[in-house]
């Protein structure tokens, strides 16, 4: 992320995160209460690169984050190789997928975190997305692209013209 000098220091994570007020709600998966059919329907009806996993829709307590591509691979494997897997099967998200390195928990900031700090975190940790919480409840998501768009808005120029590595 370049163009630090153009960054408005008064912006907060809540100003940059999605969903916006007019957007559909955050697409989340629940830890152990969705069927395979429900998970597939959610994945197919959206184009997001990933989905936060929460304890339950009511609690919105964050437990993890799953990338769309990993989810599609797991579903494909389960459908092909696991016996008795049907659309009504329950999908359970665990921290340590078998035969995989343990996933790092998703990075979070609170809604009141200043955007200059958030941008610093993105840069230093090389994040592609970060989740936003309020009192421990999941509120939204900020992707690298959301930050770029926000910076471009501040600088009032084309987002594609900003260098980003």
DSSP 155: H
Query: Which residues of the shown chain bind ligand ATP in the complex (CB under 6 A)?
Result: 18-19, 26-27, 47-51, 141, 143, 145-146
Comparison of 47 and 81: residue with beta carbon closer to ligand ATP: 47
Beta-carbon contacts of 104 under 8 Å, excluding residues fewer than 6 positions away, are: none
Beta strands in the chain (DSSP E): 29-30, 34-35, 50-54, 62-67, 90-91, 108-110, 129-134, 137-143
Distance CA 69, CA 106 (A): 16
Comparison of 9 and 47: residue with beta carbon closer to ligand ATP: 47
Q: In whole angstroms, how close is the CB of 143 to ligand ATP at the nearest point?
A: 3
Containing 77, the helix (H) or strand (E) segment is helix 68-81
Q: In whole angstroms, how close is the CB of 145 to ligand ATP at the nearest point?
A: 3
Comparison of 85 and 110: residue with beta carbon closer to ligand ATP: 110
**Residue 111, helix vs strand vs coil:** coil
Q: In whole angstroms, how close is the CB of 49 to ligand ATP at the nearest point?
A: 3
Comparison of 23 and 83: residue with beta carbon closer to ligand ATP: 23
Q: In whole angstroms, how close is the CB of 66 to ligand ATP at the nearest point?
A: 10
């Amino acid at each position: 992320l370049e163009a630090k000098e153009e960054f408005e220091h008064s912006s907060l994570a809540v100003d940059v995160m999605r969903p916006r007020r007019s957007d559909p709600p955050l697409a989340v998966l629940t830890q152990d209460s969705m069927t395979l059919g429900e998970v597939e329907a959610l994945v197919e009806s959206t184009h997001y690169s990933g989905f936060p996993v929460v304890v339950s829709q009511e609690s919105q307590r964050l437990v993890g984050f799953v990338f769309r591509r990993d989810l599609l691979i797991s579903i494909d494997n389960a459908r092909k190789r696991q016996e008795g897997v049907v659309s009504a099967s329950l999908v359970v998200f665990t921290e340590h997928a078998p035969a995989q390195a343990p996933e790092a928990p998703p990075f979070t900031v609170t809604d009141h975190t200043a955007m200059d700090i958030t941008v610093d975190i993105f840069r230093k940790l090389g994040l592609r997305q970060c989740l936003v919480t309020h009192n421990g409840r999941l509120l939204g998501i900020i992707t690298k692209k959301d930050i770029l768009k926000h910076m471009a808005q501040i600088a009032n120029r084309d987002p594609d013209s900003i260098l980003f590595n």
